[in-house]
Amino acid sequence: MIFLAAAPLLIWIYLFLFRGGYWRVARHLRSSRTLADRTARVVAIVPARNEAEVIARSISSLLRQSHPVTVILVDDNSDDGTAEAARTAAANLGLLDRLTILAGKQLQPGWSGKLWALSQGVEFAEALSPDYLLFTDADIEHDSTNIQELLQVAESGPFDLSSLMVQLECRTLPEKTLIPAFVYFFFQLYPPAWIKSPNHATAGAAGGCILLRPEALARSGGLKAIRNTVIDDCALAAQVKRSGRKVWLGLTRSASSMRSYGSFEELMNMIARTAFHQLRHSVVLLAVTTAGLIVTYILPPVLTFSTSGPSRLFGVTSWTLMAGTFLPMVRFYKRSRFWALTLPGVAIIYGAATVLSALRYWRGRGGTWKGRVQDVRSY
């Protein structure tokens, strides 16, 4: 019993001290003072499929950047007026000449929808000879200085791929419960300090905002090399880093997602879309991950309330370390510090979403997004 009780404590000591300081949110915020090259040509590529509700704000925010940005919208066979909404937004700003709208070609076999759309944007952008490509989602709204500041980061490294985890919506009860933990778990899997370090193989990126040098993309094999990958942002970062280039990941309040989740079901679906793919569709890894969640997150409160002596002390200490690492992210999302104590319950929900992800994959419905099944079981 003592050995079992000590297991989560040892895990949390490791996570607290030796996991690249993933939980130290202040370190992940941009802090570069390097002056960006004002002549750098930035071409933003925005893949969009049925995003009429948000596309005007997204495109407008890109066209209003303090550093001029040329925008390519790849309309991925939308049927809700996405292209028209984007064109109207640019016209209202008097900047229609800086927006190009490409009608997306029919999805090719072996490609995910987003990467197929991005590849068309990259091909068109080649004629513009950009110094940087900006991959950004249709539901991201950028503050006017966001790209300028991201350029400063890119040139301070210099980094070939610089990515920002944008601020996600955190207004509804489901969002307040699960969103801070989503970013927390992401950084736990992909510690930014390890991503930045050439001495670590770890690579990761956040697909909502990626600034990339075209030559780094070409040298790493291009989008074709990851064309059917569900977690495409991290796959792109991994191939860029493997090619010998430098990668950076940070956190920001200067760009935010407009996609909201009004129910726990919607958020569960968001998590389940990629969870089993992250485990490489392995039943063994699914079992190990489930066991790890139980020992790491659920056992500490169980020990705290159901045991005494050293076992309870181990439980209390483990839970304290857990809450302490979660607290900076809770504060980043402006939640009460008491939310830091809820991580065990949140972990149960994430574990259930991971199992749901596996069940959907086995049923042939893995990675469903915008009506497309992106994670198909091979036989």
Q: Residue 375: is its pLDDT beyond 80?
A: no
The percentage of the chain sitting over the pLDDT mark of 70, rounded to a whole number, equals 97
Q: Are 357 and 275 in contact, with CB atoms under 8 Å apart?
A: yes
Q: pLDDT tens digits for 14-65?
A: 999 999 999 999 999 976 666 667 789 999 999 999 999 999 999 999 999 9
Q: How far apart are CA 238 and CA 207, in angstroms?
A: 13
H helices within 31-145, ranges in order?
Answer: 55-63, 82-92, 113-125
The percentage of the chain sitting over the pLDDT mark of 90, rounded to a whole number, equals 91
Band of the pLDDT at 243, cuts 50, 70, 90? Answer: very high
Q: Residue 147: is its pLDDT beyond 80?
A: yes
Here the tokens at position 145 are 């200085």
H helices within 102-231, ranges in order?
Answer: 113-125, 146-156, 173-189, 192-196, 214-219
Give the Cα-Cα-Cα angle 26, 29, 31 (nearest 5 degrees). 105
Q: pLDDT tens digits for 59-115?
A: 999 999 999 999 999 999 999 999 999 999 999 999 999 999 999 999 999 999 999
Q: What is the mean pLDDT of residues 145-171?
A: 95
Q: Residue 342: is its pLDDT beyond 80?
A: yes
Tell whether domain 31-261 is in CATH 3.90.550.10: yes
Q: Residue 272: is its pLDDT beyond 80?
A: yes
Residue length, the chain?
Answer: 379
Band of the pLDDT at 279, cuts 50, 70, 90? Answer: very high
Q: What is the pLDDT of residue 368?
A: 75
Q: What is the mean pLDDT of residues 180-204?
A: 97
Q: How far apart are CA 55 and CA 52, in angstroms?
A: 5
Q: pLDDT tens digits for 208-229?
A: 999 999 999 999 999 999 999 9
Provide the residue ranges of all domains of the chain, joining segments of one domain with +: 2-21+265-362, 31-261
Q: What is the pLDDT of residue 135?
A: 98
Band of the pLDDT at 263, cuts 50, 70, 90? Answer: very high
